Amino acid sequence: MAAQIIDGKQVAADMREELKKEVAKLKEQGVVPGLGVILVGEDPASKSYVTAKERTCEEIGIYSDDNRLAPDTSQQELMALVERMNKDPKIHGILVQLPLPKHLNETEVLLSIDPAKDVDGFHPMNVGKMVVGEESFLPCTPHGVIQLLVRSGVTIEGAEVVIVGRSNIVGKPLANMLIQKKPQRNATVTVCHTRTKDLAAHTRRADILIAAAGRPNTITADMVKEGVVVIDVGVNRVEDATKKRGYRLVGDVDFEAVKEKASLITPVPGGVGPMTITMLMYNTVESARRTIARTSQ
């Protein structure tokens, strides 16, 4: 029997409705959650992504301070803008859209963001807190994966989880989050990568398989067991002359074949993707909550 589809669009929509209510409560307390967004340059994918974030802010009721800077913006100008946002009480979260133009130092910029406003969860202070299990802003895509699992009724505790991919944005933080001694965590996690010997031997053990390798058809039907839960984080462009754009989007999983063996599976697009922006909004609202808590002490 074919797998049940995990509808990321619907889960994201449900969470956004919850966030609308949270924002309304915060506004009653005199606080409007604010997100500062910085986009440098004209990268089409980045522009599209930032525009989607701005629309979502408007939908939920979050104040958005949008800054679109010229491609030749200097390091000094960019750092000054980040510092302004760090000091602005109306801004609870700061997002610097990556990648930056090559003449800019991404590491220096990310380090300059106040960890209390680092709603992407990339600052080393928040990464460290995440690893040791302290309260922190969790990276948006890995947190979105966990929300998809939890809200789909998947039991994470005690599950054998295999993650294919070890990036700093998905694989590593997700592994750290899933092994925490906390409710809806407590998984046994294996992280596989390009140097893993006999990848299929590991993936066939998985109760939950998370593909984040960035390569189409990394996971095929013979690499999974019956009843596995599959989360496909990959987004890859594949040439397709039948499409107006000349390409179609596919994940890292051979979806049509694997869905015949899986119990639950995310599609691409429409799976993990919609969750990333939603979790950014979640972190921004959480930051506003923490601001109220700090000022009331």
By CB neighbour count within 10 A (0-12 exposed, 13-18 middle, 19+ buried), where does 248 fall? middle
**DSSP letters of the chain?**
-PPEE--HHHHHHHHHHHHHHHHHHHHHTT---EEEEEEES--HHHHHHHHHHHHHHHHHT-EEEEEEE-TT--HHHHHHHHHHHHH-TT--EEEE-SSPPTTS-HHHHHHHS-GGG-TTS-SHHHHHHHHHT-S-PPPHHHHHHHHHHHHTT---TT-EEEEE---TTTHHHHHHHHTSSSTT---EEEEE-TT-SSHHHHHTT-SEEEE-SSSTTSB-GGGS-TT-EEEE---EEEE-TTSTTSEEEE-SB-HHHHTTT-SEE--SSSSSHHHHHHHHHHHHHHHHHHHHHHHT-
* The amino acid at 38: I
Q: Which residues are catalytic?
A: 53, 97, 120
Q: How far apart are CA 110 and CA 106, in angstroms?
A: 6
Spatial contact of 202 and 196, defined as CB atoms under 8 Å apart: yes
* Lookup: tokens for 92: 């609870």
